[in-house]
Structure 1
Amino acid sequence: MLGNNLPSKADVVKMYQTYGITGMRIYNPDSATLTALKGTNINLIMDLPNSDLASIASSSSAATTWVNNNVKPYYPGVSFKYIAVGNEVSGSAVSNILPAMKNIYSALSSAGLQNSIKVSTSVSTGVLGTSYPPSAGAFSSDASSYMTSVVQYLATINSPLLANVYPYFSYAGNTAQISLDYALFTSAGTVVTDGSNKYQNLFDALVDALYSAMEKVGGSNVGIVISESGWPSAGGTGTTASNAQKYNQNLINHVGKGTPKRSTPLETYIFAMFNENQKPAGVEQNWGLFYPNKQPVYSISFK
């Protein structure tokens, strides 16, 4: 939504329906979007924004108010699937993640919605201190201080971890050692062998490193939902419409198979719907599948 030239919320929801896109993520409760989503059966990740974390973490009544204002008026017309309590939270604010998740879960429970709407938080692969090989995946010492309790809580409430997984950034930051084919799902054969698991793409390797990290802290039964992945079409290393099309189409075609470590299909959300002109110049403005005039940046099938 970080653009001053984007279509109306109602028009955007109609685009989702036209293209057969069955999931959406919004980064804060937006009444116009929620109203437009009613009756569409589009699965929704809705964020509790980082700016609200401290107040929700410190007050169960604030959490109840948040759910009463932003969830209950729209349920069940809106197909809420996950509440992401914070997105890539960093610094001292990480101590608020778990108490805020617990307060939101309690507020949903009071409304009888705890079995219908899952509570989680969205993290980047930056929480990993070790990611290679995937079986050695482990949280960094900093991240482990809060991720251990978060993962164990997700296990108790039967919720997945939401993860933002971007092979693009790994590739762009290390083109000497990571091939474009490995990042784009176009490698001809195995690139990394890790025990009995063979990896042809970087996406699977990153996801499996996260699975390994969770297993090491008591999260063997915790799943992963890919809450963001994508490839920019301009503004940086390896950014062309062709590469973005390859990555996102291959991602769509691939995630139903799961990963070498876990064959469970991966529910996946592509970032982003539109190019956003109010983001910093460069790659940040060019993640969109569509231009603000609703024309596709490149052709893609969501089926």
Structure 2
Amino acid sequence: MKSIYAMLFVFIACLSITNPGRVEAAIGVNYGLLGDNLPTPADGVKLLTSRNITKVRLFSPNQNILNALKDSGISAIVGTLNEDLQTLASDVATAKRWVQTNILPFSSSVNITCISAGNEVIPGDLATYVPAAMQNLDAALTAAKLSIPVSTAISMGVLSQSDPPSNGLFSPESSPVLTQVAKFLQSKRSPLLVNIYPYFPRNSFPANVPLDFALFQDTAKPNPDGALLYTNLFDAMVDAVHAALEKAGGPDVEIVAAETGWPTAEGGPDASVANAAIYNNNLIRHVSSGAGTPRRPRKDVDAYIFALFNENLKSAGVEQHWGLFYPNMTEVYHVDF
């Protein structure tokens, strides 16, 4: 039987901060807006506050959401639109205008913890713009006297090897760009944002990826990597990226799990409310424990659950069933924040 790591490698091959002041890992949510029946931003922020959710990730600098977040105590990762990467990479003046329009008006009342230059564009046609966009945004933030890290968000599809995690390696298509990204993040002591979904390798290879290993359950059989033992797939995926970063010139770059979660319907037999509740509650306990990962013990990994709401304008099928809440703000299932 092939190992779990081998199955993970096959799967990802097929897929098209450091913050010195941080004292413990934290859980947030992705606040997506691809729905025509979502609550108002003000009501959405009230929901976040009522459930003790203190961190959100925004895929764009949506000013309605940012206005609603003012003085709420909720921090935010703010992304650029993918289609803006080319212009942001063109010169610092463009990046300065972006910061002045989208960040500066909110910086005194919203704790913006990171700017993400695009989401999952590496590898691809837009990938070559990412390093320059990151550098220009960093220069623009510095000019505005704002101390906000700049990063980018990647999928696990950037890896060509992950079996075992210590063999993690960026693919030939991704490596030229991610080597630049890794060295930039290393120099700035900023994190890499990684979208980590144990559901996908489990769904693709159920015979080889045990469900309990994907769901952080105590019954999971540990998987060895030299002297290290992995008791869950999330840690194995995180550490595969750590290993790739080390080889690309970013040995000290930390990882933020910018997206992770489990679907509740239309994604095969494992996409269920029960499994989603198990995954996300176990994720919170694991991340909050301070254990880190086998490769980086006691190094916090912040994680952002995908997503706050079910979004009906996403592609039909499983994509519409990742929310913690229905658009009417009732729970799909309970998560203890």
Q: TM-score, normalised by structure 1?
A: 0.97
* Distance in 1 of aligned mates of 2:219 and 2:64: 46
1:280 aligned residue? 315
CA contact (8 A) 1:190 1:198 kept: no
* Distance in 1 of aligned mates of 2:271 and 2:220: 24
1:265 aligned residue? 300
1:245 aligned residue? 277
1:181 aligned residue? 212
**Shift in Å, 1:187:** 4.5
Matched, 1:290 2:321: no
CA contact (8 A) 1:83 1:120 kept: yes
2:189 aligned residue? 158
Q: TM-score, normalised by structure 2?
A: 0.87
Matched, 1:228 2:262: no
Q: What's the C-alpha RMSD, in Å, of the aligned pairs?
A: 0.9
CA contact (8 A) 1:187 1:201 kept: no
* Partner-residue secondary structure (3-state), 1:135: helix
Summarize deviations over 1:205-228 as a string: whole Å, max 9, x none: 000000000011111111001100
- Greater than 6 Å deviation, 4+ residue runs: none
Summarize deviations over 1:245-301 as a string: whole Å, max 9, x none: 000111111013211111211111100000000011111000000000100001110
**Shift in Å, 1:200:** 1.0
* Partner-residue secondary structure (3-state), 1:142: coil
* Partner-residue secondary structure (3-state), 2:61: coil
* Distance in 2 of aligned mates of 1:58 and 1:177: 46
Tell me which of 113, 116, 139 is aligned to 1:84: 116
Tell me which of 143, 162, 167 is aligned to 1:110: 143
1:7 aligned residue? 39
Q: Return the structure number with greater relative CO, CA threshold 8 A, min gap 6.
A: 2
**Shift in Å, 1:130:** 0.4
CA contact (8 A) 1:229 1:270 kept: yes
Report the residue type matching 1:71 in the other structure: I
* Partner-residue secondary structure (3-state), 1:141: coil
- Equivalent residues, number: 300
Matched, 1:93 2:126: yes
Tell me which of 172, 175, 178 is aligned to 1:144: 175
Summarize deviations over 1:81-102 as a string: whole Å, max 9, x none: 0000010004121000000000
* Distance in 1 of aligned mates of 2:247 and 2:221: 26
User: How do 1:23-102 and structure 2 match up within 5 A?
Assistant: 23-89=55-121, 90-102=123-135
* Partner-residue secondary structure (3-state), 2:174: helix
Tell me which of 5, 16, 21 is aligned to 2:48: 16
CA contact (8 A) 2:307 2:322 kept: yes
* Distance in 1 of aligned mates of 2:91 and 2:100: 14
* Partner-residue secondary structure (3-state), 1:92: coil
CA contact (8 A) 1:4 1:277 kept: yes
CA contact (8 A) 2:210 2:220 kept: no
* Distance in 2 of aligned mates of 1:255 and 1:212: 20
* Distance in 2 of aligned mates of 1:228 and 1:139: 19
Q: Give 5+ residue unaligned stretches, structure 2.
A: 1-32
* Distance in 1 of aligned mates of 2:53 and 2:80: 23
Percent sequence identity over aligned pairs = 47
